[in-house]
Amino acid sequence: MSEEPPGIPLADVLRAANELVSVGLIKDYALGGALAAIHYVEPIATYDADIFFIPATEDLTGGIPQIYEALRARGWKVEGDHLLLRNFPVRFLAAHGLTEEAVREAKPLNYKGVATKLFRPEHIIAIAASVGRLKDLARIEQVMEQAEIDKNLLETILKRHKLFLPKR
């Protein structure tokens, strides 16, 4: 299943997400959370992967049961609200509003030969501003300091979603 050593089986996670798109269980997806932020900033410890997806169905479940079933059939395990791939926790989160926009406008990436997408830094900042926990505020600071930000785009996103950055 994988050429990766034990650790973060990101290529296999992304491959599985691509398969979910291929079989029509999700419309689209992008990598978010810390693993997306790390693309733009220095490495930080993170213990899971967040996959934001646009559901293929309009029911309230967002197709989560079918996604879990499909991944379990591929050997993934379920633990709490995480799916585990070789003990690495992955969350599949139905995107809506700002996160849906972040998926639609995500940046294409090729990771170890797997075509994927990940959130743009401007969306990572906006999402962190919308959540507002201490770790999100730290993420905003880190991305603002270390990533190349399109300030006009960031301003547009923040304005569109009525968000504000914390005062520095």
Task: Compute CA distances 32 → 1, 59, 85, whole Å.
Answer: 23, 23, 17
Residue closer to other proteins, measured from CB, 144 or 163: 144
Q: Which of 16, 17, 30, 35: binder of other proteins (CB under 8 A)?
A: 35
Window contacting other proteins (CB under 8 A); options: 13-21, 45-53, 60-68, 149-157: 45-53
Instruction: Indicate whether 129 belongs to the interface with other proteins (CB under 8 A).
Output: no
Report the b/e string of 12-51 with b at 16+ CB within 10 A. bbbbbbeebeeeebbbbbbbbbbbbbebbbeeeeeeebbb
The token duo for 11 is 């290529």
Residue 55's Cβ-count burial label (10 Å; 0-12, 13-18, 19+) is: buried
| Closest among 125, 41, 33, 39 to 82, alpha carbons compared | 33
Q: Which of 15, 120, 123, 139: binder of other proteins (CB under 8 A)?
A: 139
Residue closer to other proteins, measured from CB, 7 or 80: 7
Task: Compute CA distances 78 → 39, 115, 135, 153, 166, whole Å.
Answer: 27, 25, 26, 38, 36
Instruction: Indicate whether 144 belongs to the interface with other proteins (CB under 8 A).
Output: no
Residue closer to other proteins, measured from CB, 70 or 109: 109
Q: Which of 22, 45, 73, 162: binder of other proteins (CB under 8 A)?
A: 45
Q: Which of 66, 142, 157, 158: binder of other proteins (CB under 8 A)?
A: 142
CB of 5 to other proteins, least distance (A): 8
Question: What residues line the site for other proteins (CB under 8 A)?
Answer: 7-8, 10, 34-35, 38-47, 109, 111-112, 134-135, 138-139, 141-142, 145-147
